[in-house]
């Protein structure tokens, strides 16, 4: 084993412990992977707590998901990691978890795409929501595929979050940023107001983003990413106010008023 691979195994164990300790996963949820070589991916195994792994619990697969090394089996969620490695050649690490606040937004059908925090606009632009797809099937890959080239963090409807970057630690820190942002966004929903940054302020941040060390997004962000004050009006109530009533009376017509 090369020193580089040993270091990657240590990084994955450390991130697994952090995901577990911080409550970003439960039971055997989540998975972490590192691209060792073009066609060699080191990943966490299926059915195991990511906080309780040993270095030799990890598995090595090729880019098609075939196991090359390891006594345990790869996760069915590896398909998502492999899709990201195929579509984003510069990505070296992927983290998938079920952080409670961000996954709550994903389960509510709400992306985290509001220009609420300068640091989040700088780091991620915004975090879109991929439509629901069954885990480990081509259905999920199809919903993620159009978003992966444009974003470094994606909410998956009724499921969780995936983040990726030029190394696995950066991918993990993006997961922390997404969950932290989701908690802050949730507070604005509780307060009933969101004072979004305006288009000019966001434009400056997006310009700075191009120069920001570590930003490796392969393509420009989507057209309404992030949603700015000019789109919604100053001190607007959170867009969730336009959601249909939770009693089921709404049939989704309220969505037409939403900007996402
Ligand atoms: Zn999952």
Q: pLDDT per residue over 41-51, tens digit each?
A: 999 999 999 99
Distance 109 CA to ligand 1 centre (A): 16
Distance 153 CA to ligand 1 centre (A): 14
pLDDT tens for 93-138 read 999 999 999 999 999 999 999 999 999 999 999 999 999 999 888 8
pLDDT of residue 66: 97
pLDDT bracket for residue 28 (50, 70, 90)? very high
pLDDT at 244 over 90: no
With contact defined as beta carbons under 8 Å apart, do 242 and 258 qualify? Answer: yes
Q: For residues 134 and 189, give the distance between their C-alpha atoms in angstroms, rounded to a whole number.
A: 29
Phi/psi for 105 (5° steps) reads -60, -45
Distance 6 CA to ligand 1 centre (A): 26
pLDDT of residue 135: 87
pLDDT of residue 217: 58
Q: For residues 149 and 207, give the distance between their C-alpha atoms in angstroms, rounded to a whole number.
A: 19
Distance 90 CA to ligand 1 centre (A): 23
Distance 160 CA to ligand 1 centre (A): 6
- Tell me the pTM: 0.89
Q: For residues 188 and 114, give the distance between their C-alpha atoms in angstroms, rounded to a whole number.
A: 11
pLDDT of residue 221: 75
Give the chain's mean pLDDT.
Answer: 88
Distance 105 CA to ligand 1 centre (A): 15
pLDDT bracket for residue 22 (50, 70, 90)? very high
Q: For residues 147 and 128, give the distance between their C-alpha atoms in angstroms, rounded to a whole number.
A: 8
Distance 35 CA to ligand 1 centre (A): 20
Distance 30 CA to ligand 1 centre (A): 5
Distance 178 CA to ligand 1 centre (A): 16
Distance 67 CA to ligand 1 centre (A): 20
Distance 77 CA to ligand 1 centre (A): 7
Distance 156 CA to ligand 1 centre (A): 9
With contact defined as beta carbons under 8 Å apart, do 9 and 69 qualify? Answer: no
pLDDT tens for 160-215 read 999 999 999 999 999 999 999 999 999 999 999 999 999 999 999 988 888 765 56
pLDDT bracket for residue 235 (50, 70, 90)? low
Distance 25 CA to ligand 1 centre (A): 9
> Measured between alpha carbons, how far apart are the two ends of the chain, in Å?
47
Distance 131 CA to ligand 1 centre (A): 14
For the chain, domain boundaries = 3-111+125-167
* 190, HSE (Cβ side, Cα atoms, 13 Å): 6
Q: Which CATH superfamily is domain 3-111+125-167 in?
A: Class II aldolase/adducin N-terminal domain (3.40.225.10)
pLDDT of residue 94: 98
Mean pLDDT value of segment 226-234: 81
Distance 124 CA to ligand 1 centre (A): 21
pLDDT at 1 over 70: yes
Distance 60 CA to ligand 1 centre (A): 19
Distance 76 CA to ligand 1 centre (A): 10
Distance 129 CA to ligand 1 centre (A): 15
């Amino acid at each position: 084993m090369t020193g580089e691979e040993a270091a990657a195994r240590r990084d994955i164990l450390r991130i697994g412990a952090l995901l577990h300790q911080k409550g970003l996963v439960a039971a055997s949820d989540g998975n972490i992977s590192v691209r060792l070589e073009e066609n060699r991916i080191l990943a966490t195994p299926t059915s195991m707590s990511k906080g309780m792994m040993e270095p030799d619990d990890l598995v090595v697969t090729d880019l098609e998901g075939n196991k090359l090394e390891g006594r345990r089996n790869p996760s069915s969620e590896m398909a998502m990691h492999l899709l990201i490695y195929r579509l984003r050649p510069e990505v070296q690490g992927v983290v998938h978890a079920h952080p409670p606040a961000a996954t709550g937004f994903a389960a509510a059908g709400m992306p985290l795409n509001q220009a609420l925090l300068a640091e989040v606009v700088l780091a991620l632009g915004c975090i879109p929501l991929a439509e629901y797809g069954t885990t480990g099937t081509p259905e999920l890959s199809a919903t993620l595929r159009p978003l992966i080239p444009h974003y470094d963090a994606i909410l998956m409807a009724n499921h969780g979050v995936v983040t990726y970057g030029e190394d696995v630690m950066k991918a993990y820190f993006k997961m922390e940023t997404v969950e932290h942002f989701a908690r802050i966004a949730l507070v604005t929903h509780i307060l009933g107001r969101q004072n979004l940054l305006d288009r000019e302020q966001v434009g400056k941040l997006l310009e700075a983003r191009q120069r920001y060390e570590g930003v490796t997004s392969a393509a420009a962000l989507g057209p309404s990413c992030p949603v700015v004050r000019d789109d919604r009006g100053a001190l607007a109530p959170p867009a969730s106010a336009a959601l249909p009533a939770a009693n089921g009376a709404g049939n989704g017509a309220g969505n037409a008023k939403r900007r996402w």
